[in-house]
Amino acid sequence: MTAGPVRRRRAFAELVERPSAQVLIIGGGINGVATMRDLAMQGVDVMLIERGDYASGASSASSHMIHGGIRYLENGEFRLVHESVTERNGLLQIAPHYVKPLKTTVPIFSTFSGVLSAPLRFLRHGAGRPRERGAALIKIGLVIYDSFSRGGGRLPRHEFLRRRRSLAKLPRLNPEIRYTATYYDASMQDPERLALDVLHDGLRAGRSPGAMGPGGAEMGSGALARAANYVEAFGVSGGGVRVRDAITGEEAVLTASVVVNASGPWTDLTNAALGRGTRFMGGTKGSHIVLDHPELLAATGGREIFFEHSDGRIVLIYPLNGRVLVGTTDLEHDMREPVTCTEEEVDYFFGLIRHVFPDIEVGRAQIVYRFAGVRPLPGHGDLAPGFVSRDYRIERATLSSTGTAQVLSLVGGKWTTFRALAEHLSDEVLGILRVRRATSTKGVAIGGGVGYPRTEKALRQWLAANSAGVGRERAARLLARYGTRASEVIAAIRADEGDRPIRDAAAYSTAELRHLAATEHVVHLDDLLRRRTNLVFTGDARRDCVRDVAETIAEVCGWDADDIEREEAAVLAMLERQGRYRVEERATSRV
């Protein structure tokens, strides 16, 4: 299916007009765009292509957490935990508009469970049968975890409570608990939007003098950083990478001194397309459901409930955007097969909720969205998925037997460490190019985190400066949604005389969505509904809303009446296929 008339897209045209660069990055997930940002800040000429939409693969299927990985301590991954905690603390500072402190409570049903098995797993590098962790082991882990936050941490220390005080704070918890442990990590409110901010900053950093396009467009053939979504790498030719625009079918050959394969769980498939078969990856599927369930939402007390089930899987029940996110599974997956959240997984989640909150009923009618993704984990043989390292490594090869381009394949990685990972990967690239690092990304604010108000006084000042034409309440809502980049959205709203609320989703408006479609690389309706807004995540993408949004952005996207029908049909089919519910009947009943 194509979107809009078949014509050369600007983003793809900018690659074709100058089809060479120092670096070509394949993969527009968080690690790919973060690496582009880092390299652009060093003055490196870099191109990035993504076969789908930005942050539409593993990056969009996360648990919405930025965390240190307390359970990795049991596997002896102290370097990863230290880096993760450091990066978590850093993201709280450089991306405060999307990364927030998250109070996390662990319900504990035993005292000494796992005390003997954990050291054995440590000595055997994660091997062994998983067992539920008891209070003693969790206490030890949290003491070590807190120690990693010293010096750079701004979050409170952990707290241990016995049954009586635990139930006083969270009365709907299973009364069979013996203790609760509460500590702080961080939530990531809108991962796709954070990835888009990183992309935006990378393109801006790579802008060269005179590269500004019509209307202040950030990319041009003169820019040192260029990117295009819906462009697939499918082969090699003459020492370059053959690529195809998925929208128009146009093909080209892109050349670079270094090719970075940052395609996540698809890394082996990408290498195969580049003529180098590899078996680096062993990704596991993680699924989640999103519930519209006020009773369960209230029972969480505004905190994440995080625990390990008896089968060794990590489970979370997490209040987010007025809904409850429940996850996750950890299952082997073949990347050649579709990635879906199955009915069996839904039943598993419901059982977990009953285990923690036994007097709260949940059912399928309360599911507003379900999603699944594959973690980009390394191959792990017979090791249980839950104990596979979440660390990363970089593999090096040449593009082809006749070419000289170096290929760096990223194996592993997780959301929390994307900045540090990108810095390490960029250092490898800079070494090959023999370019000295000019600056670090450490401490550099991301997107709407620049100048984000951190005090009540600063918030009042920001609102006073930006509320004209939209009102204080709406300006505050837009600040929460976009960070300080909300000022750009507000300017677009003021300039649009036809602005009005979206039908069935009044929190968004037509001018706001037209601005996003015009400035954030929107190709399909799905891009806007799932990754530029949270309308699908919260279950607000009802039929009337979907149609209204399609008609609202049609002119910006160059769609005619037939295109609108196709885009709407595709989104409704996606919602019914992944959500397993009829859009027009969502949340009209409870079971």
Peptide bond into 328 cis (omega under 30): yes
**Whole-model pTM?**
0.90
pLDDT of residue 36: 98
Confidence of residue 380 (pLDDT cuts 50, 70, 90): low
Q: What whole-number distance in Å separates Cα of residue 116 and Cα of residue 212? A: 62
Q: Are 178 and 162 in contact (CB under 8 A)?
A: yes
Structure tokens at 158: 């952990």
pLDDT at 420 over 60: yes
pLDDT at 341 over 70: yes
54-68, 79-93, 99-113, 181-195: segment of lowest average pLDDT: 99-113
pLDDT at 63 over 50: yes
- Taking each helix axis from N to C end, the angle separating 472-482 and 486-495, rounded to the nearest 10 degrees, works out to 130
Average pLDDT over residues 108-135: 51
Q: What whole-number distance in Å separates Cα of residue 187 and Cα of residue 99? A: 6
pLDDT at 130 over 70: no
pLDDT of residue 143: 81
pLDDT of residue 591: 32
Q: What whole-number distance in Å separates Cα of residue 63 and Cα of residue 85? A: 17
pLDDT tens for each residue of 257-309: 999 999 999 999 999 999 988 999 888 888 999 999 999 999 999 999 988 77
Q: Residues 6 or more apart from 329 whose CB is under 8 A from it?
A: 285, 286, 287, 313, 345, 348
Average pLDDT over residues 203-232: 67
Q: Are 265 and 374 in contact (CB under 8 A)?
A: yes
What is the separation, in whole angstroms, between the first and last Cα of the chain? 37
Confidence of residue 339 (pLDDT cuts 50, 70, 90): confident
Across the strands, what pairs with 47? 24, 226
Closest C-alpha among 441, 414, 423, 443 to residue 185:
414
42-56, 297-311, 511-525: segment of lowest average pLDDT: 297-311
pLDDT of residue 242: 97
Average pLDDT, the chain: 86
pLDDT at 140 over 60: yes
Q: Are 194 and 98 in contact (CB under 8 A)?
A: yes
Q: Cβ of 25: how many Cβ atoms within 10 Å?
A: 30
Q: Residues 6 or more apart from 392 whose CB is under 8 A from it?
A: 410, 411, 412, 413, 414, 417, 421
pLDDT at 585 over 90: no
Q: What whole-number distance in Å separates Cα of residue 354 and Cα of residue 305? A: 13
pLDDT at 151 over 90: no
Q: Are 306 and 133 in contact (CB under 8 A)?
A: no
Domains of the chain: 18-58+192-282+391-433 (3.50.50.60), 61-184+284-375 (3.30.9.10), 453-585 (1.10.8)
pLDDT of residue 401: 64
Percent of the chain at pLDDT > 90 equals 67
Closest C-alpha among 327, 441, 394 to residue 38:
441
Average pLDDT over residues 46-50: 98
Highest mean pLDDT, choosing among 215-224, 248-257, 391-400: 248-257
Confidence of residue 331 (pLDDT cuts 50, 70, 90): confident
Q: Residues 6 or more apart from 277 whose CB is under 8 A from it?
A: 268, 271
Q: Are 158 and 106 in contact (CB under 8 A)?
A: no
Confidence of residue 382 (pLDDT cuts 50, 70, 90): low
Segment (H or E) for 24: strand 20-26
If you count them, how many residues does the chain have? Answer: 591
| DSSP collapsed to 3 states, 75-106 | HCCHHHHHHHHHHHHHHHHHCCCCEEEEEEEE
Q: What is residue 153's DSSP assignment?
A: -
DSSP 59-76: GGSS-SEE---GGGGGGT
Structure tokens at 477: 């809502």
150-154, 229-233, 343-347, 417-421: segment of lowest average pLDDT: 150-154
Q: Are 63 and 325 in contact (CB under 8 A)?
A: yes
pLDDT of residue 314: 76
Confidence of residue 134 (pLDDT cuts 50, 70, 90): low
DSSP 404-428: --EEEEEEE--GGGHHHHHHHHHHH
pLDDT tens for each residue of 490-505: 999 999 999 999 999 9
Q: Are 189 and 320 in contact (CB under 8 A)?
A: yes
Closest C-alpha among 512, 430, 519, 529 to residue 475:
512
pLDDT of residue 583: 44
pLDDT of residue 283: 80
Structure tokens at 564: 């609108």
Average pLDDT over residues 451-460: 96
Average pLDDT over residues 94-115: 82
pLDDT at 221 over 90: no
pLDDT of residue 210: 38
